[in-house]
Chain A
Amino acid sequence: MSLLFKGRAQGAQLSQVSIIQRIQMFFLSHVRQALGSLGEMWRSGAASLMTIGVLGLSITLPSTLYILVKNIEQVSSGWDQASEISLFLKAETSKQHIDQLLTRINSWPEVSKVTYIPADDALNEFKALSGFGDAIAYLDKNPLPPVVLVAPSEKHAGPVAARLLLDKLRKEREVDIGKLDLEWLQRLDALLTVAKELVTIIALLLFLAVVLIIGNTIRLNILSKKDEILVMKLVGATDAFIQRPFMYTGFWYGLLGGLLAWFTVVSLLWWMSASVEAVSALYQKQFNIAGVDFSTLLIMLSTSVLLGLVGSMISVKRHVSAIEPK
Chain B
Amino acid sequence: MIKFQQVSKTYPGGQQALRKVDFHVEPGEMAFLTGHSGAGKSTLLKLISLMERPTVGQVLINGHDLNTISRRQIAYIRRDIGMIFQSHQLLMDKSVFDNVALPLIIEGYSHKETTKRVHAALEMVGLRDKAKNLPIMLSGGEQQRVGIARAVVNKPPLLLADEPTGNLDPKLSMEIIRLFEDFNQAGVSVFIATHDLGLIARMKYRTLTLKNGQMITDGLSQDF
Contact = CB atoms under 8 A, between A and B. Distances in A.
In terms of DSSP, what is the predominant structure of the interface of chain A? helix
B108 A12 contact: yes
Contacts of B218: none
A272 to B, nearest CB: 48
B80 A326 contact: no
B214 to A, nearest CB: 23
B75 interface: yes
Contacts of A232: 102, 106
A10 interface: yes
B201 interface: no
A3 B69 contact: yes
A14 to B, nearest CB: 8
Contacts, number: 89
Contact of B91 (A4, A231, A233): A231
Given A15-B113, A326-B51, A236 B64 contact: no
A58 B142 CA distance: 51
- Give the interface size class of chain B: 20 to 34
B108 A235 contact: no
A238 interface: yes
Contacts of A5: 62, 80, 157
B69 A236 contact: no
B11 to A, nearest CB: 11
B29 to A, nearest CB: 16
B51 A2 contact: no
Contact of A11 (B61, B109, B157): B109
Residue in A3, A10, A22, A236 whose Cβ sees the most chain B Cβ within 10 Å? A236
Contacts of A228: 91
A231 B102 CA distance: 9
B111 to A, nearest CB: 8
Contact of B51 (A29, A238, A324): A324
Given A4-B80, A231-B102, A236 B107 contact: yes
B38 to A, nearest CB: 16
Given A3-B69, A5-B80, A235 B102 contact: yes
Interface in A2-56: 2-5, 8, 10-12, 14-15, 17, 21-22, 25-26, 29
Interface string A230-245: 1111111111010000
B90 interface: yes
Contacts of B85: 234
A212 B187 CA distance: 52
A291 B14 CA distance: 69
Contact of B108 (A4, A29, A325): A29
Interface string B73-91: 1011111100101000111
Nearest to B68: A3
A325 B85 CA distance: 12
Given A3-B69, A230-B89, A236 B106 contact: yes
28 contacts: A2-B76, A2-B80, A3-B69, A3-B80, A5-B80, A5-B157, A8-B157, A10-B79, A11-B109, A12-B110, A14-B109, A14-B113, A15-B109, A15-B113, A26-B108, A29-B108, A231-B89, A232-B106, A234-B85, A235-B83, A235-B106, A235-B150, A236-B76, A237-B75, A237-B106, A239-B72, A241-B75, A326-B51
Interface of B: 49, 51, 61-62, 64, 69, 72-73, 75-80, 83, 85, 89-91, 102-110, 113, 150, 154, 157
